[in-house]
Amino acid sequence: MPNMSLVKNEMPTQKPEERIKNFNEVALGYTEEQAIDEAKRCLKCKNKMCVAGCPVKIQIPDFIAKVAEGKFEEAYQIILTQSSLPAVCGRVCPQENQCEGRCVRGIKGEPVAIGRLERFVADYHNKNCTEKPKQPVKNGHRVAIIGSGPAGLSCASDLAKRGYSVTIFEALHTPGGVLVYGIPEFRLPKAIVQKEIDGLRALGVEIKTNIVIGKTLSIDELLHEYGYEAVFIGSGAGLPKFMGIPGENLKGVFSANEFLTRINLMKAYKEESDTPILMGRRIAVVGGGNVAMDSARCARRLGAEVYVVYRRGMEELPARHEEVEHAIEEGIIFKTLTNPTEIVAYNNPDDKRDPRNMSVKGMKCVEMTLGEPDDSGRRRPVVKEGSEHVIDVDCVIMSLGTSPNPLIKSTTKGLDTEYWGGIIVDLNGLTSKEGIYAGGDAVTGSATVILAMGAGKTAASAIDDYIQSKKKAFE
Amino acid sequence: MYKIVKKKVLNPTVILMDIEAPLVAKKAEPGQFIILRTDENGERIPLTIADFDRKKGTVTIIFQVVGATTEKLAHLNKGDSLCDFVGPLGKATHTDGLKKVAVVGGGVGCAIAYPVAKKLHNLGCEVHAICGFRGKDLVILENEFKNASAKYVLMTDDGSAGEKGLVTDALKSLIDSGEKYDEVITIGPLPMMKFVCLLTKEYGIKTVASMNPIMIDGTGMCGGCRLTVGGKTVFACVDGPEFDGHLIDFDEAMARSNIYQATERKKHDEACNLFKKEVK
């Protein structure tokens, strides 16, 4: 008998007034009882709309059925056939636009909490499974992977399981890509990312940090001097965008990338870290995506009063619903339908050497109204006449999205890219150069962990086919 | 881990180290930089490459002790290792077609100016090196510069070595005496580079300045190193670190360079205390 409750089992969380004082994970996860009870809300529909909504086609009703039976490890194995990073995706996927957005239970009431169940199953496995993965039999072929974010990790995992000797090249000193430098500890504990990376190493994957492909080594060298037969580019979209308004280079204006990297990768919030972070009293985060929410919530935890400034309305915020809800609970103030036009500098005319000179004194903004829908289908924000005002802030974080890093394109002859930098690939992830594949944000521009992971898997299959067919031709 | 294979104290606060980093050494060119971290809690700091030996697989760094990281670095010895060392980053110095160049270095900036002078000298370019220091005790790389230049002018603020005065005084008198430079390359403290650029602008001599702003990743990801050059925002790590000195907004760069001054001072003091404790 299914559980006909109209609402999800509530996720236990740290109380807002407590969690704004620490960086520990906000959502604490279901208990076994809560998970089983929630799993029973699934109606096991014949036409599985949830699966259609999943970018990697996880067999959702099947794994949920196992959860309902209390067979959590079996549920994990079902997820694992389609996803390499369940503990990560259960936490960071925008489920409301994917699986849960299509769930029949959502028509009247709330959808089944698919994301929470995925997380539960993955955490259960990580906690209880001590079995080490078997080292696959090596097939003697070598593949290089550039970047250790979600795309690279999933591509590496699939190839290693098929017997390939895989080397991941990472530019930073810690593997994980955006999972490490971008997403904060309170949303995705780094121990979980580390567990995934340890799992890859156990499969025999080699990870070389501190190597910038395009600088330290080139793709051509990997293929022609180092003996790799194929390369997968999963270098992400790391280049931050700025608005191009006056005052953007003042002291106290940061890209979300810089702010989050200082906190997440460099642990600037910890006393023992040498990396400094400039903390304002009042901070404006410009933008409305997940990265904006992450920045705002990090700033809040460092003790600031925080505004999220977004040019469209609350309804249009591109961030996950849960992040917005959590941000509101944490006391973050949303100034929607507001757009910055200038960042105002502090200037002491009597003392040119005043260290406060050229730091942020405020942010000039205009109010917006929503007009006709634009190309993206969202209503276009239009400036409201005479609405100019200044917000009193001393720090501004620009979170306007990112674009692919041009380092690889500029050092790889014949690699075709879009005008905005995205690497051009076919359906299998093949670029304009033989043996070179790409996927994730490096191809799409900033998107989601799950899409990057899916692209990594697709490319892994294509690389396998490519190398095997070359081998056959050779024989 | 990246092993320190040589350590040499050049003056009371400036230290030279050769670091074992074969992949970096293989690609390094004058003008490029590396990013290092001393330990797991360490900050990532950029240092311009002072020299490299492709055969031995080593990269030379020369640094001045100014903050917590350089303090920690200074306490490491031959045989110790750095936790991270990545590069070569940024673009190499443009040397094509240069026949006569003035290389103007200030303080520890001379360490970065040296490989540029050496490369130009080896390419057959007539190099005039002007190096400025506060006083005699701080002079570094005097012989190296002499061997890599047709003319070497040493300037000190107090006149305790070479001539008394600023590097701009020396550059001005060389230009006024009829020396015609294709280009001036300047590397040193921001105020010095600003005044070198103001001077050469008057004379209409193309000038390149090597910038060393605050950065984290060094690959274009954080944007912390952004500068305004010719009215446009650029990232020193990927677009530079060398730019047309007549177009750089030096005042903005100076302001941005002291963002973390207060915290840095505190962290440096902490590091010093830590070492004092250990010595005892």
DSSP codes, B60-103: EEEEE--SHHHHHHHT--TT-EESEEEEEESPPPP-TT--EEEE
Beta strand spans in A69-204 (E): 142-146, 165-169
> What phi and psi values does residue A174 have, to the nearest 5 degrees?
-130, 130
Q: What pLDDT does A272 receive?
A: 87
Q: What pLDDT does A271 receive?
A: 85
Residue closest to B45 by CA, chosen among A451, A453, A275: A275
Residues 6+ apart with CB under 8 A from A259: A277, A295, A298, A299, A397
Where is A438: in which H helix or E strand? strand A436-438
Q: Is A383 exposed, middle or buried (0-12, 13-18, 19+ CB in 10 A)?
A: middle
Cβ A358 vs Cβ A132: under 8 Å: no
Tokens of A415: 């690699």
Where is A219: in which H helix or E strand? helix A219-224
Q: What pLDDT does A12 receive?
A: 95
The beta-carbon neighbor of B87 closest among A216, A248, A278 is: A216
Name residue, tokens 């020193």: B236
Contact B216 A262 (CB under 8 A): yes
Question: Distance (Å) from the C-alpha of residue A378 to the closest C-alpha of chain B?
Answer: 29
Residue B244 has pLDDT above 70, yes or no: yes
Rounded Cα gap, residues A323 and A326, in angstroms:
5
Residue A389 is classified by DSSP as E
Maximum CA extent, chain A? 81
Rounded Cα gap, residues A390 and A342, in angstroms:
9
- Looking at beta carbons, which residues of chain B come within 8 Å of A252? 259
Q: What pLDDT does B280 receive?
A: 37
Question: Distance (Å) from the C-alpha of residue B171 to the closest C-alpha of chain A?
Answer: 27
- Looking at beta carbons, which residues of chain B come within 8 Å of A407? 219-220, 238
Contact B227 A405 (CB under 8 A): no
Q: Nearest chain A Cα to B258, which residue?
A: A355
Residue type, A114: I
Contact A278 B222 (CB under 8 A): no
Mutate to test the interface with B, among A146, A250, A264, A275 (most CBs of B within 10 A): A275
Question: Distance (Å) from the C-alpha of residue A178 to the closest C-alpha of chain B?
Answer: 11
Q: What is the mean predicted confidence (pLDDT) over B81-103?
A: 94
Q: Nearest chain A Cα to B232, which residue?
A: A244
- Looking at beta carbons, which residues of chain B come within 8 Å of A405? 219-221
Chain segment B124-136, per-residue pLDDT in tens:
999 999 999 999 9
Rounded Cα gap, residues A305 and B199, in angstroms:
46
Q: What pLDDT does B219 receive?
A: 92
What value, to the nearest 5°, has the Cα angle with vertex A452 and ends A447 and A454? 130
Mutate to test the interface with A, among B216, B257, B260, B273 (most CBs of A within 10 A): B216
Contact B219 A257 (CB under 8 A): no
Rounded Cα gap, residues B107 and B9, in angstroms:
15
- Looking at beta carbons, which residues of chain A come within 8 Å of B68? 274
Contact A238 B221 (CB under 8 A): yes
What value, to the nearest 5°, has the Cα angle with vertex A214 and ends A208 and A220? 90
pLDDT by residue for chain A (475 residues), tens only, comes to 789 899 999 999 999 999 999 999 999 999 999 999 999 999 999 999 999 999 999 999 999 999 999 999 999 999 998 998 999 999 999 999 999 999 999 999 999 999 999 999 999 999 998 777 778 899 999 999 999 999 999 999 999 999 999 999 999 999 999 999 999 999 999 999 999 899 899 999 999 999 999 999 999 999 999 999 999 999 999 899 999 999 999 999 999 999 999 999 999 888 888 888 887 789 999 999 999 999 999 999 999 999 999 999 999 999 999 999 999 999 999 999 999 999 999 998 898 888 888 999 999 999 999 988 888 787 888 999 999 999 999 999 999 999 998 889 989 999 999 999 999 999 999 999 999 999 999 999 989 999 999 999 999 999 999 999 988 887 7
Q: What pLDDT does B243 receive?
A: 97
Q: What pLDDT does B279 receive?
A: 45
Size of interface A-B (CB pairs under 8 A): 119
> What pTM did the predictor assign?
0.93
Cβ B84 vs Cβ B46: under 8 Å: no
Rounded Cα gap, residues B226 and B242, in angstroms:
13
Percent of chain B predicted with pLDDT > 90: 85
Chain segment B115-125, per-residue pLDDT in tens:
999 999 999 99
Q: What pLDDT does B275 receive?
A: 72
pLDDT, mean over chain B: 92
- Looking at beta carbons, which residues of chain B come within 8 Å of A274? 41-43, 68-69, 72, 267, 271
In three-state secondary structure terms, A330 is coil
Tokens of B64: 């001045």
Where is B210: in which H helix or E strand? strand B207-210
Residues 6+ apart with CB under 8 A from A2: A40, A41, A42, A43
Residue A139 is classified by DSSP as -
Contact A249 B87 (CB under 8 A): no
Contact A407 B224 (CB under 8 A): no
Q: Nearest chain A Cα to B27, which residue?
A: A216
Strand pairing partners for A169?
A: A146, A208
Say whether the peptide bond before residue B241 is cis (omega within 30 degrees of 0): yes
Rounded Cα gap, residues B179 and B202, in angstroms:
15
Residues in chain A whose beta carbon is closer than 8 A to a beta carbon of chain B?
A: 171-173, 181, 209-212, 215-217, 238-240, 242, 244, 248-252, 254-255, 257-258, 261-262, 265-267, 272-278, 355, 357-359, 405-407
The beta-carbon neighbor of A173 closest among B84, B260, B263 is: B84
Mutate to test the interface with A, among B35, B54, B217 (most CBs of A within 10 A): B217
Residues 6+ apart with CB under 8 A from A351: A357
The beta-carbon neighbor of B84 closest among A210, A261, A262 is: A210
Tokens of B245: 């000195």
- Looking at beta carbons, which residues of chain B come within 8 Å of A260? none
Residue closest to B271 by CA, chosen among B41, B18, B22, B33: B41
Q: Is A128 exposed, middle or buried (0-12, 13-18, 19+ CB in 10 A)?
A: exposed
Residues 6+ apart with CB under 8 A from A241: A398, A400, A401, A402, A403
Rounded Cα gap, residues B117 and B227, in angstroms:
25
- Looking at beta carbons, which residues of chain B come within 8 Å of A265? 216
Strand pairing partners for B156?
A: B133, B164
Contact A249 B252 (CB under 8 A): yes
Q: Are strands A305-310 and A333-336 parallel, antiparallel or unpaired?
A: parallel
Q: What is the mean predicted confidence (pLDDT) over B38-61?
A: 94
Q: Nearest chain B Cα to A177, which residue?
A: B221
Residue closest to A290 by CA, chosen among A59, A152, A435, A93: A93
Residue A418 is classified by DSSP as -
Question: Distance (Å) from the C-alpha of residue B257 to the closest C-alpha of chain A?
Answer: 9
Q: What pLDDT does B266 receive?
A: 78
Cβ B86 vs Cβ B217: under 8 Å: no
Position B277 confidence tier, pLDDT thresholds 50, 70, 90: low
Contact B87 A242 (CB under 8 A): no
Q: What pLDDT does B276 receive?
A: 65
Distances, alpha carbon A207 to alpha carbons A19, A49, B24, in Å: 34, 38, 18
Residue B20 has pLDDT above 80, yes or no: yes
Residue A137 is classified by DSSP as P
Q: Nearest chain B Cα to A218, which residue?
A: B27
Say whether the peptide bond before residue B88 is cis (omega within 30 degrees of 0): yes
Tokens of B267: 């962290």
Contact B23 A216 (CB under 8 A): yes
Tokens of B6: 């040589």
Residues in chain B whose beta carbon is closer than 8 A to a beta carbon of chain A?
A: 23-24, 27, 37, 41-44, 68-69, 72, 83-89, 216-224, 226-228, 233, 238, 251-252, 255-256, 258-261, 263-264, 267, 271
Task: Tell me the angle at which helices A72-80 and A60-68 cross, rounded to the nearest 10 degrees.
Answer: 170
Question: Distance (Å) from the C-alpha of residue A450 to the closest C-alpha of chain B?
Answer: 22
Strand pairing partners for B2?
A: B82
Contact A209 B44 (CB under 8 A): no
Contact B221 A252 (CB under 8 A): no
Q: Is A406 exposed, middle or buried (0-12, 13-18, 19+ CB in 10 A)?
A: middle
Residues 6+ apart with CB under 8 A from A314: A324, A334, A336
Residue type, A129: C
Mutate to test the interface with A, among B219, B239, B266 (most CBs of A within 10 A): B219
Contact A274 B42 (CB under 8 A): yes
Name residue, tokens 């980093």: B21
DSSP states of A354-379: -TTTTBEEEEEEEEEEEEEE-TTSSE
Contact A239 B44 (CB under 8 A): no
